[in-house]
Amino acid sequence: MKLRLAMSGVIAAVGVLQADGATKTRPAPSKLAQAVSLENQRLVPLKSFEIVMAARDRTPETIVGKIDEPLAAGGHAQFPITGAKGCRFEARWAFDDAKDSGDVDLCNDAHIVFAD
């Protein structure tokens, strides 16, 4: 909902600039991060973490980044993003006590923090 409101504001502002005869300026396009920074502030180790690009048309889903080994409590890791297109991906993770997933936007923020 916030994204739509922000986009409406940008469109309205561009319309005003055009009406005044000013040159139209475009916001810089979002650029996909080259790497993800991961921080585990939980008291349990992170067993696995991966970034997945959703399946499209006839292309199966693709893992575009992951940690190679468990991340200790209080630990930091960084891993590259490879073969990715777009900005929005699914992150999947597993701890000893929980397993979950969620959407991430790697163009706007490639720093992920797990905390209790």
Domain boundaries, the chain: 1-29, 31-114
- On the question of pLDDT at 7 being above 70, the answer is no
- On the question of pLDDT at 13 being above 50, the answer is no
Confidence of residue 16 (pLDDT cuts 50, 70, 90): very low
Across residues 23-37, what is the average pLDDT?
Answer: 74
Q: Could you give the CA distance from residue 26 to residue 10 in angstroms, rounded to a whole number?
A: 10
Q: Could you give the CA distance from residue 106 to residue 87 in angstroms, rounded to a whole number?
A: 5
**Could you tell me the pTM of the whole model?**
0.71
**CATH number listed for the domain at residues 31-114:** 2.60.40.2890
Mean pLDDT of the chain: 80
Phi-psi region of 29 (alpha: psi -120 to 50; beta: other; left: phi over 0): beta
